[in-house]
């Protein structure tokens, strides 16, 4: 039995963040797909918000939220590594800025487009607004990556890249009629670099 159980959904970008980090750090895990719409009682005991991912460590804590999972895993298994070098306050602040950006601007754009197209669930904004936001986000990311290989301006990837990667990499499958990564060449090169990292988890099938 693996030390970790990851409650996640295959098509969820937030779930993919946790899967990626576990794989990058060489940590085996058991994957469980919970019922989330609506969430069943057993899963709500793990996360009262009824959201994935949730990481349960055997004999250890239960961690909810993808960003919290990234920080926990790195601090436990690779403290001081390039993934989150907290000893450097400037780099740590820069990483945190981009993780926050992933949880807000990226979520409030590319995620909503994906949810509407792939799952046909209701979203809190109009589809047109979500598409407009997505294009604005991709342009912003592309401009930044014209000058840097990784988002935190570091020589190696960090949890900032892990946090941003899923919904950007899935953009075309979310709305191929409008969102084409070829329109954002710096982003496209970054996605290719990320996918080439050792132990990079395969993308979901859709």
Q: 89-195: what fold? A: Glutathione S-transferase Yfyf (Class Pi); Chain A, domain 2 (1.20.1050)
CB proximity list for 168: less than 8 A, separation 6 or greater: 106, 110, 138, 141, 181, 187, 191
For the chain, which residues make up each domain, given as ranges?
4-77, 89-195
pLDDT digit string (tens) for the chain, length 206 residues: 799 999 999 888 999 999 999 999 999 999 999 988 788 899 999 999 999 999 999 999 999 999 999 999 999 999 999 999 999 999 999 999 999 999 999 988 999 998 888 777 889 999 999 999 999 999 999 999 999 999 999 999 999 999 999 999 999 887 767 799 999 999 999 999 999 999 998 776 55
Whole-structure pTM value: 0.95
Best CATH choice for the domain 4-77 from the list 3.40.50.720, 3.30.200.20, 3.40.30.10, 3.40.50.300: 3.40.30.10
CA 89 to chain centre: 23
CA dist., res. 151 & res. 145, Å (int): 7
Tell the burial category of 145 from Cβ atoms under 10 Å away from its Cβ (0-12, 13-18, 19+): buried
Q: What is the pLDDT of residue 4?
A: 98
CB 203 within 8 A of CB 167: no
Residue appearing with tokens 């996918």: 195
Q: What is the pLDDT of residue 176?
A: 63
CA dist., res. 140 & res. 99, Å (int): 15
Q: What is the pLDDT of residue 97?
A: 98
């Amino acid at each position: 039995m693996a030390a970790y159980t990851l409650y996640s959904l295959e098509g969820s970008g937030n779930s993919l963040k946790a899967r990626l980090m576990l794989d990058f750090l060489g940590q085996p895990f058991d994957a469980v797909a919970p019922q989330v719409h609506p969430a069943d009682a057993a899963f709500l005991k793990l996360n009262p918000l009824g959201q994935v991912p949730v990481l349960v460590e055997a004999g250890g804590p239960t961690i909810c939220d993808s960003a919290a999972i990234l920080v926990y895993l790195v601090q436990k298994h690779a403290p001081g590594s390039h993934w989150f070098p907290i000893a450097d306050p400037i780099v740590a602040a820069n990483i945190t800025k981009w993780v926050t950006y992933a949880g807000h601007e990226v979520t409030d754009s590319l995620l909503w487009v994906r949810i509407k197209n792939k799952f046909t669930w209701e979203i809190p904004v109009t589809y047109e607004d979500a598409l407009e936001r997505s294009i604005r986000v991709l342009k912003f990311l592309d401009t930044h990556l014209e000058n840097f290989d990784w988002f935190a301006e570091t020589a190696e990837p960090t949890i900032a890249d892990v946090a941003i990667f899923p919904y950007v990499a899935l953009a075309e499958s979310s709305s191929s009629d409008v969102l084409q990564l070829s329109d954002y060449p710096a982003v496209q090169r970054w996605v290719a670099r990320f996918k080439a990292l050792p132990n990079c988890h395969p993308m979901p099938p859709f």
